[in-house]
Structure formats: C-alpha cells, structure tokens
Structure 1
C-alpha cells in the first residue's frame, strides 16, 4: 500500500512538473489509544502513528516559486517565496502557508519547491490528516534546506500553523505522534512538558480496527471550544478550594465531588471526566506493559462512556458503533476517538474476527442510519520519514 502511494505520487509529480522528484517523504496519520480531550487539560495521552500516510514528492526550483499540487483534489496553488503570506480560501493550502510563515519568521534561507502530494489518511475521520500534512512539509523543509530543527520543533511548528492559519486551537498530540511515531510503540506524552516515553504495543492475537461513522456534525468546532471554556471555568473554581492545585493532574475524584454543587452539573461532569481520563491513561500504560489487553479494553469502554455521558462529545452514530460491539466476545474494547461529534470508533478486536465484525456492523449501521460504514485496519507505524532521495538532478 505504501509503495503504491509512492508510485502514484511520483507519477503525478512527473506529470505536473515534467521532471523526476528529488525527494519523497511520508508523514503518517495517528490514532490515540486512550487519553481523549486531555491534551489541552494537562493530561497524558497515548497516541501512535499508523500506516496511513500523506506522501509528498518534492523538488527544489531556482526561481523562488512554490507550486503545490493536491492530487486527491486535482488542485494547484502557486506563489513566490518572497510574497507576504496570509491565509487563503483553499483550506488545504493554509496547512502549508502556516508552516512556511514560521520558517520565514525564524529567518531560514530557503528556495522554492515543487510539491505533489496525496493521502491515504481518510479526511474528516479524526486521524489527523492535517497534522500529517503540516509535519510532512516542515520535515521536508528541514531536510532539504538543512535547517537543523529537532523533531520537537517540527511538531510545534505544525501545531502553531494550525492555530494561526487554520484557526483550530489544537493540542500538541497529533503533530507529536506524526513526527515521533515508532513501529509497534505507543507514546505516553506529557502534554505540558512534552516529556515522552515509548511503550510496547504489540497486541498479539488482537488488531486495531477503526470504524468510520462517515459523519461529522457541524458542532465539532463550537463544541470543542465550549468544552475548553467549561473546563477552564471548572479548574479556576477548583483552584480556589485547593490552592495547591496547579492543573487537573493534581486533582482526584473526591476533590471534584466535594465541590460538585458550586461547579454546577455541567462543569462538574466535564471536570470529573478529565480527572478520570488522566488516571485511565496511567492505568492503560500499566495494562500494556503487563500485556493485559482485557484491562486495556475495559478502560477504552470506560473512556467512551465518559465521553458520551459526562463530556458529551459523542453522537448517536458513534454511540451505536460502540454499543454494537460491547457484547461481542471478539471485541475487548471500543471507544470514540478524536474531537467527537462523528469520526471513528477505535476497536481492539481478535484478528480472525475482524472481517466478520466489519460485515455485521456495516449491515446494522446501514439499516439504522442508511450510511455506508468505512472500516480501516491499521497497524502502528513509524513517524514522518524521508522515503527516497534521488541525487540525480539535485
């Protein structure tokens, strides 16, 4: 699959630019095993890069022109490196412009690039195709122009480009996972300090399966921003009662319970979810280390219940996908993954049962919602990388 993508993008580059690319880069999407909506709440997350990629075929040019060709959309965009950069109407272009703006602000010397790119990371499924684009482009600039950026700096540049040019106030997890991913390893990431550690994630007889609801409800952005405001209000109230508390990580359930009346029902439930989810990530790391996949599955289900009932970022379609595997003996755990209000559920499923499960759920889902379910079998893969470098013509 990887090879086929590289071949297609290379052919597309030749067609557009009448030359061979100098470099090919691969930048992966990501999953998050557990730790949802805690990346901006001082928690830990447990993401991993997956074997779905944005592939970039790239060459330098001498005239300072940048030309990007989005193969999947059959759209091009060109501008001069010396132009003043600002967000444009074509949303996909802003992922590149936001990254380039930061490189320019740092005073890096660069030339123009011709780029053709294509993706096997499904759009809108919560697998962070946007982070894969940002980090892949930043990684390419760093490599080609020998800018000396660290992996961490590349991830932060990707995140800032999303804040400034795309208008999404995302946490650091997506970009970090895309850059730092390792095969068969999850990353326990501290979203405050960016300290991280790898943990084994070889699921033995089990596989990771994503079920894509194919829905994206419009209140994703507004709902996300509302949640951020609610938990900020909650933390401010909790800090008044517990002066030693700096972040949600310093709190336990009992402390949240004690202030329940003052928090009010909604903010109480938001804060309770966050405190519990931070603990679940730590428990999940222990379960992985012990290869206790049943416990990991139980934690995934518990996260989904919290996301659905207390954080209220699920939706009818995703709840249906999780509930329909809850009593299946071949499924250890399932939950909504990503920002919510649509996207995918992530499922830990016995390998030999995967195809049968997809068939069953797809049929039930079509009957219930008249939507064609998409399923993605994913493996944990390595992060953003240079795939090939053609020395000829450089």
Structure 2
C-alpha cells in the first residue's frame, strides 16, 4: 500500500512536470488508543502514528513560484513565496500556506517549489489528515532548506497553522503523534508540557480495525466547547471543596463521588468521566506492557461507555457499531475515537476472524442505517519521514 502510494504520487509528478521529484516525504495519520477528551483536562493521551499516509513528491524551482497539486482532489494552487501569505477559500491550501507563513517568519529561503501530494488517510474519519498535511509540509521544508527545526517545533508549527489559517482551535496531540510516531510504539503524551514516553505496542494475535461510520453530526464544535465549559465549572467547584486539587490529574474519583449532591447531574457526569479516563491511561500502558490485550480491550470498552453515557459525545451510529462489534466473541475491545458525534470506532479483533467481523458489521450497518461502512485494518507506524528515491 505504501509503495503503491509512492509510485502513484511520483508518476503523477513526472507526468505533470516532465521530471523526477527531488524528494519524497511520507506523513502519517494517527489513532488514539485511550485518553479521550483529557488532553485539555491535564490528563495523558496514548496516540500512535498509523500506516496511512500523505505522500509528498517535491522539487525546488529556480524562481520563487510555488505550485501545489492535490492529486486526490484534482486541484492545484499557485502563488509566489515572496508574496504575503493569507488564508484562501480552499481549505487544503490553508493547511500548507499556514505552515509556510510561519516558516517565512523564521527565515525560510524565498525559493519556489513544486509539490504533488496524494493520500491513503481517509478524509473526515478523525484520523488527522490535516495534521499529516501540516506536519509533512513543515518536515519537507525543514529537510529541503536545512532549517534545523526540532520535531517539537514542527509539531507546534502544524498546530499553529491549524489555529491561524484553518480556524480550528485544536490541541497538539494529532501533530505530535504524526511527527513523533514510532513503529509498534504508542506515545504517552502530556499535552500540557509535551513530556512524552514510548511504550511497546505488540498486539500479537490481534488486529486493530477502524470502522468509519461515514457520519459527522453538526454538534462536534458546539458539543466540544460545551464540554470544555462544563468540566471547567466542575473543576472550580472541586477545587473549592478540595484546595489540594490543582487539576483533574490529582483529583480522584472518590472526591468527585463525594460531591455528587453539590455538582449538577451533568457537571458530575462530565467530571466523573474525566477522572476515570485519566486513571485508565496508565492501566492501558500496563496492559500493553504485559501483553494483556484482553485487559486493554476492556479498558477501551469502558472508555466508550463513559464517552457515550457520562460525557455524551457519541451518537446512535457509533453506539450501534460498538455494540455490534462487542457482540462478536473475537472482538475484545471497541470504542468511539476522537471528538465524537461521528467518525471512527477503534476495535481490537482476533486476526484470523477480522474479515468475517468486517463482513458482519458492514451488513448490519447497511441494514440499520443504509450506509456503506468503511473498514480499515491498521498497523502502528513511524512518524513523518523522508523516503529515498
């Protein structure tokens, strides 16, 4: 799959520009094993890069003209790197020029370049294709023009591009996982300090499968903002009753339970989910380290029910996919992944039964919602990298 993507992107570059690209770069999408909605609550997350990529074929130009070709969209955009860069109508362009805008401020040589890119990361499935595009671009410019940026700087540049040019106030997890990913490793990441550790992720006789619900409900932005406000209100009340609490990280489930009659039902539920999810992350790391995939699956399943019933960011389609998956004996864990209200579920399935489980869920989902389910078998892969031509 990776080689096919590289060949496809390279051939299209050669066809369009009658020359071979000077560089090939790969930038992956990401998953999050566990640690959902705790990145903004001072918790840890457990992301990993996956073997779905954006491939960039690039050459320098002799002048300051830049040409961007999004092969999958059959769209192109040209500009002069010396011009002032501002957001444009085409969103995919903004992810790229948002990166270039920052690099120009850091002294990027005003040299032109030509890029053709293509992707195997499903769009809109919550696998962070935008972070892969931003970080792949920053990584490519860093290599081509010898900018000496650290991996952390590349991740931060990607995040800032999303904030300033795409208008999405995202956290850093997606960009960090895309850049720092390692094969068969998950990253325990503190999104506040960016302290991180690698932990082995050997799923043995199990396969990670993503089921793309192909729905995205409109509550995502409003729901996300509401949850942030609700947990902030809850934390303020917890701190007033327990002065030793500085954040959700040193708040316990016992403390939240003691305030059940003080907090409103909604605020109580939101806070209970957050403290439980923060506690699940180290348990998941321990399960992975011990090769106890069944226990990891149980923790992931608990996360889903917390997201659905306490945090209320799921939706009927996601709940259906999780319930159906868990009805199969070969599935040891399933949950919704990402911001919520649609996107993908992540499932841990016995390898030899994966195709059978995919077939069953595809049929059930079609009958229930008349939607063609998309399934992706994934592996944990290395982060943004150069590919030798």
What TM bracket, shorter-length normalisation?
A: over 0.9
CA distance in structure 1 between the partners assigned to 2:235 and 2:107 by the alignment: 39
Q: Is 1:34–1:303's contact at 8 Å kept on the other side of the alignment?
A: yes
* Structure 1 residue 165, shift from structure 2 partner: 1.2
Q: Tell me which residue corresponds to 2:31.
A: 31
1:145 and 2:145 correspond: yes
Q: Tell me which residue corresponds to 1:16.
A: 16
CA distance in structure 2 between the partners assigned to 1:268 and 1:143 by the alignment: 49
Q: Tell me which residue corresponds to 1:242.
A: 242
Matches within 5 A, 1:7-86: 7-86=7-86
Q: Deviations over 1:128-162 (max 9, x none)?
A: 10110011000001000110111111111111111
CA distance in structure 2 between the partners assigned to 1:121 and 1:40 by the alignment: 25
1:125 and 2:158 correspond: no
Q: Tell me which residue corresponds to 1:229.
A: 229
Q: Tell me which residue corresponds to 2:217.
A: 217
CA distance in structure 2 between the partners assigned to 1:73 and 1:163 by the alignment: 23
* Structure 1 residue 84, shift from structure 2 partner: 1.3
1:253 and 2:253 correspond: yes
Q: Tell me which residue corresponds to 1:160.
A: 160
Deviating 4+ runs (over 6 angstroms):
none
* Partner secondary structure for residue 343 of structure 2: strand
Matches within 5 A, 1:361-372: 361-372=361-372
Q: Deviations over 1:270-324 (max 9, x none)?
A: 1111111111011100111111111101101100000101111111001000001
Matches within 5 A, 1:1-394: 1-388=1-388
The TM-score, its normalising length taken from structure 2, stands at 0.98
Instruction: Structure 1: state its 5+ residue gaps.
Output: 390-394
* Partner secondary structure for residue 202 of structure 1: coil
* Partner secondary structure for residue 147 of structure 1: coil
CA distance in structure 2 between the partners assigned to 1:336 and 1:110 by the alignment: 44
CA distance in structure 2 between the partners assigned to 1:66 and 1:236 by the alignment: 50
CA distance in structure 2 between the partners assigned to 1:316 and 1:250 by the alignment: 33
* Structure 1 residue 101, shift from structure 2 partner: 1.3
* Partner secondary structure for residue 263 of structure 1: coil
Q: Is 1:273–1:306's contact at 8 Å kept on the other side of the alignment?
A: yes
CA distance in structure 2 between the partners assigned to 1:43 and 1:66 by the alignment: 41
CA distance in structure 2 between the partners assigned to 1:345 and 1:252 by the alignment: 28
CA distance in structure 1 between the partners assigned to 2:241 and 2:198 by the alignment: 36
Instruction: Structure 2: state its 5+ residue gaps.
Output: none
Q: Deviations over 1:82-105 (max 9, x none)?
A: 211111110111100111111122
CA distance in structure 2 between the partners assigned to 1:110 and 1:240 by the alignment: 54
Q: Is 2:82–2:110's contact at 8 Å kept on the other side of the alignment?
A: no
* Partner secondary structure for residue 41 of structure 2: coil
* Structure 1 residue 326, shift from structure 2 partner: 1.6
CA distance in structure 1 between the partners assigned to 2:224 and 2:18 by the alignment: 44
Q: Is 1:32–1:47's contact at 8 Å kept on the other side of the alignment?
A: yes
Aligned residues: 389
* Structure 1 residue 18, shift from structure 2 partner: 2.6
The TM-score, its normalising length taken from structure 1, stands at 0.96
Q: Is 1:94–1:166's contact at 8 Å kept on the other side of the alignment?
A: yes
* Partner secondary structure for residue 89 of structure 2: coil
CA distance in structure 2 between the partners assigned to 1:230 and 1:16 by the alignment: 52
